[in-house]
A and B are shown apart, each in its own frame.
Chain A
């Protein structure tokens, strides 16, 4: 498998893209037409390599500490392994590799977000979990096309919250889009 343990100093291209377009986004926010029915989004926010991401609370079942993760031979590159969650064996997705980042070297802040994606329960390995955040739906704007290319068509939108930028993930798509490569 040979996963490298070091974290890159600069954010991945995709993320840099998001940052660069942040200003423009704020300006475009009013104009952008993003169809999102609920007035308030409840998001669980988490960090990956310094950036903050959000997932709808409804998809999240629980957040757990990182224990033993068993590697599964020949599994796709974005799968970290499997864990035992009260007798149930769940795959743990290394969401970082889906975003072009190096695999996580878990620290004490690392967490596994147990989420339900299209009826399947799986764990997402994240650097840390921040909080539950309410976001007015009309603050969500589409990610710029440049960012949405290739790697990142699973970014549903971004939210400007005061000085922070929150990236909204479409998990189902993030896991489908088969970067499912065998090492």
Chain B
């Protein structure tokens, strides 16, 4: 049992260490392949990669992971041949190198699942062997073409870097959360004390300490958050290979340009960013980019450019996925929307294009294949909205399409509005709060037994907090406020008794014993030490019936 546990931990370490190495290898082979296709037969990378492949082989051997070991070994041999012999720099070799690196990534990623993939590995190794024997050319002295190697952010760590299990950072954050609670308790006691004994030298001193403690805690928070940030390249890295494979399947030429890979994001966000990005990128390759013939007819270069770009703003990161393909087909989207009973707010392209994010739009029919943009866009949009982010699309017919995503830096500490409903307190992430409004007499209407209120010129549904959250109290007094929640374009009001204030809360997950409530996404500890549930604003907004 303990051994199993220790082994599982070792495997995790192995994956954490080896995966970036394998990705670096894969990137380098892809670059190599591209250059060879362009007629430049240099093979400088291969020399640079010798050490990396050797490390991968060694790591895998140490863990007894034979498939990875033999694949790394075969790649080592093939790379050595390629480095030594210019005649061995053909498409066959580069394809094998790229395939092997991809296989290595897959195998390492799945290392936790017992001994899978050995068949695939053996088969690959056999093919490499055949290739090596086939053109057993006379050995040519190694010609070192020392090209300046690109510095990779994910390459070998600097001497000043340590590798830390992410769970330890979670523990740190938890302890920080406790300190934050103690700090607010201390502040509270200080206030009461000061009120009772009035001004004195000690109270003044204490006041100074309390104020500076708060500032220090704020700094500690941001320093702690810094340690949790990872470059977005950990997500982007999967795309060079994915795009290459997909483009090959589609018989298209696509060049992927990645910028801002060193932009930092919290792991809580990164973990949930991959899937929507995969949707957007593969849709761009499959649906956005035209066939080669079509591009040439349109006077465009045969090779399409797909770019993936990340930019950091103060508390958000903006990611764009853009292509120079055919663009969204406004007329078809409109036709399909009408068939589904949807009508854009206005017939401008911007409003029509926005319809592709409407739940059910892109999944409804196969037609989406031609109509616009393929399957799963609504799912991608929903995933981004769940994160408290936004997604937009801009497109010009014949020129291309750009999706722009904006996501918060972290989900670990969330600025929240604390509200009270029937004496229960809840935290509402501010990323989902559009406004809080005092309920004026007569403002609340009931249509078809659903609460409706006019807000910023449109009628929105309001749900009673007590009913939604099942406080179980029967009450007659009207609620004082409604909080306008939003996720993407949808809004919904939530009636509450009191607005308590704003607070940065450390988000903690719900224990599985608590089931999977739709309306609650986590819990946190408030300043007074009590636990408050964090409302799943996106979930609440998405609910059809709030009764």
Binding site for B on A (CB under 8 A): 1-3, 68, 70-76, 79, 81-84, 86-91, 93, 120, 122, 175, 180, 182-183
Contacts and interface: CB of A to CB of B under 8 A. Distances in A.
Most buried by B among A84, A86, A120: A84
A89 B508 contact: yes
B341 interface: no
B198 interface: no
B229 interface: no
17 contacts: A3-B472, A68-B530, A70-B424, A70-B530, A70-B532, A71-B424, A73-B468, A74-B470, A74-B515, A74-B519, A75-B514, A84-B529, A87-B175, A87-B177, A89-B525, A91-B511, A182-B515
Contacts of B424: 70-71
B96 to A, nearest CB: 45
B259 interface: no
B510 to A, nearest CB: 7
Nearest to B179: A87
Contact of B472 (A2, A76, A79, A88): A2
Given A71-B424, A84-B530, 17 more contacts: A1-B470, A68-B529, A68-B531, A73-B519, A73-B520, A73-B533, A74-B517, A75-B515, A75-B517, A76-B515, A83-B531, A86-B178, A87-B177, A87-B181, A89-B525, A91-B514, A182-B515
Contacts of B511: 82, 89-91, 120, 122
A180 B517 CA distance: 12
Nearest to A175: B513
Given A68-B530, A72-B520, A87 B515 contact: no
Interface in B522-547: 523, 525, 529-533
Interface of B: 174-175, 177-178, 181, 424, 468-472, 508, 510-515, 517-520, 523, 525, 529-533
B521 to A, nearest CB: 11
B530 A72 contact: no
Contacts of A70: 424, 523, 530-533
Contact of B531 (A3, A89, A183): A89
A3 B472 CA distance: 8
A183 B177 contact: no
Given A1-B470, A3-B472, A87 B519 contact: no
Contacts of A122: 511, 513
Contacts of B531: 68, 70, 81-84, 89
A123 B11 CA distance: 33
Contacts of B523: 70, 72, 82, 89
Contacts of A75: 514-515, 517
A73 B469 contact: yes
A170 B494 CA distance: 42
B469 to A, nearest CB: 4
Contacts of A74: 470, 515, 517-520
**Counting chain A CB atoms within 10 Å of each CB, which of B468, B518, B525, B532 scores highest?**
B525
Nearest to A176: B513
Contacts of B512: 120
Contacts of B519: 73-74
B58 to A, nearest CB: 34
Given A82-B523, A89-B508, A76 B514 contact: yes
Contact of B517 (A73, A87, A175): A73
A111 to B, nearest CB: 18
Contacts of A68: 529-531
Centre residue among A72, A81, A122 by max chain B CB count within 10 A? A72
Contacts of B517: 72-75
Contacts of A83: 531
Contacts of A180: 515
A84 B523 CA distance: 10
A89 B523 CA distance: 8
A82 B281 CA distance: 42
B148 to A, nearest CB: 51
A106 B469 CA distance: 23
B533 A72 contact: yes
Contacts of A120: 511-513
Interface centre among A2, A71, A76, A120 (most CB of B within 10 A): A71
